[in-house]
């Protein structure tokens, strides 16, 4: 009875979380009319603008980051190291949050122009939750694949790489071809890791040089490349098995040039409960 009364007064945990995110979602929505008026060239130019603003923001936290890295290099216990890494992550998130609203609004507009898909509020909420490092539970049909483009773009702006982990090779290929036009429009490269091959998304491979939804899954937009090249892309799709075993093989590699992955930066895991 008491629990029922408290829920009536304060709302459920879900309702409180949504209420907390509402102002941010409203800010993103408020940007839509102005963003939609931008030409394709102006919209593409936003990527370089965001990167410049990230670099400027990094200068504000330069001393703090330097001190944290110094502490990390001298930390001995795993618990202490994890604590410092968490603080570094929080600082990094502050930098990205300075452009989050605009970046999400830009990705939404590009989604409309390239693949005729618009991020709805529920997807924006999912994107913000993922940025906070939390689990976003979404029902089938609520657009999880589209949600990932928000965070992948935001974190891909740093140039340090983003991994999107799917449950099988087919979905990794499909999502690379399906979401590829969004990243391509915004100037981000996109890789795909498979069991025995690797690709980069490349629109020029089609006869028309344009993306067609009915060609998604055919492999027409996937250019074979080395594994290192696929990992050097701004955003790389693949399965947990491929990412995991490549990580293990890299740690056993004798020569530096035999390693395929770079320093791990940010990952989005689909079907995290499976």
Q: Is 65 part of any domain?
A: yes
Asked if residue 118 and residue 181 are part of one domain, the reply reads no
The answer to whether 175 touches 237, Cβ cutoff 8 Å, is: yes
pLDDT digits (tens, 9 = 90+) for 94-149: 899 999 999 999 999 999 999 999 999 999 999 999 988 887 777 766 688 999 99
**What are the residues whose beta carbons fall under 8 Å from the beta carbon of 152, sequence distance 6 or more?**
162, 164, 183, 235, 268
Asked if residue 220 and residue 117 are part of one domain, the reply reads no
- The pair of structure tokens assigned to 197 is 């091959």
Asked if residue 175 and residue 270 are part of one domain, the reply reads yes
Averaged pLDDT, 22-46: 97
* Cα–Cα distance measured from residue 264 to residue 262, given in angstroms and rounded to the nearest whole number: 6
Question: Which range (17-26, 151-160, 161-170) has the least confidence?
Answer: 17-26
User: Against a cut of 0.75, is the pTM above it?
Assistant: yes
Asked if residue 165 and residue 123 are part of one domain, the reply reads no
pLDDT of residue 12: 66
* Cα–Cα distance measured from residue 110 to residue 154, given in angstroms and rounded to the nearest whole number: 14
| Range of the structural domain that residue 97 is part of | 11-135
pLDDT of residue 133: 83
pLDDT of residue 85: 84
pLDDT of residue 165: 96
Specify the CATH number for the domain of residue 266: 3.40.50.300
**What are the residues whose beta carbons fall under 8 Å from the beta carbon of 223, sequence distance 6 or more?**
199, 200, 201, 202, 205
Q: Is 140 part of any domain?
A: no
pLDDT of residue 98: 93
Q: Is 153 part of any domain?
A: no
With 80 as the cut, is the pLDDT of residue 13 above it? no
The answer to whether 214 touches 170, Cβ cutoff 8 Å, is: no
pLDDT digits (tens, 9 = 90+) for 221-231: 999 999 999 99
């Amino acid at each position: 009875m008491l629990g029922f009364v408290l829920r009536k007064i304060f709302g459920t945990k879900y309702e409180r979380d949504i209420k907390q995110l509402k102002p941010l979602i409203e800010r993103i929505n408020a940007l839509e009319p102005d963003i939609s008026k931008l030409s394709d060239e102006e919209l593409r130019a936003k990527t370089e603008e965001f990167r410049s603003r990230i670099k400027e923001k990094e200068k504000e936290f330069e001393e703090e980051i330097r001190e944290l890295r110094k502490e990390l290099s001298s930390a001995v216990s795993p618990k202490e190291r994890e604590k410092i890494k968490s603080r570094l992550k929080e600082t990094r998130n502050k930098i990205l949050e300075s452009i989050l609203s605009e970046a999400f609004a830009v990705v939404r507009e590009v989604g409309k122009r390239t693949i005729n898909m618009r991020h709805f509020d529920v997807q924006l909420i999912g994107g913000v939750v993922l940025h906070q490092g939390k689990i976003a539970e979404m029902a089938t049909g609520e657009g999880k694949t589209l949600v990932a483009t928000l965070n992948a773009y935001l974190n891909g702006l740093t140039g340090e790489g983003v991994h999107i982990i799917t449950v099988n090779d087919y979905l990794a290929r499909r999502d690379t071809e399906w979401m590829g036009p969004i990243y391509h429009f915004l100037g981000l490269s996109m890789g795909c890791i498979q069991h025995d091959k690797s690709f980069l998304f490349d629109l020029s491979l089609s006869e028309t040089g344009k993306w067609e939804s009915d060609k998604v899954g055919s492999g027409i937009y996937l250019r074979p490349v080395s594994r290192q090249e696929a990992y050097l892309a701004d955003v790389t799709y693949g399965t947990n098995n491929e990412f995991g075993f490549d990580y293990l093989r890299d740690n056993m590699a004798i020569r530096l040039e035999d390693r395929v992955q770079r320093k791990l930066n940010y990952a989005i895991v689909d079907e995290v409960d499976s």
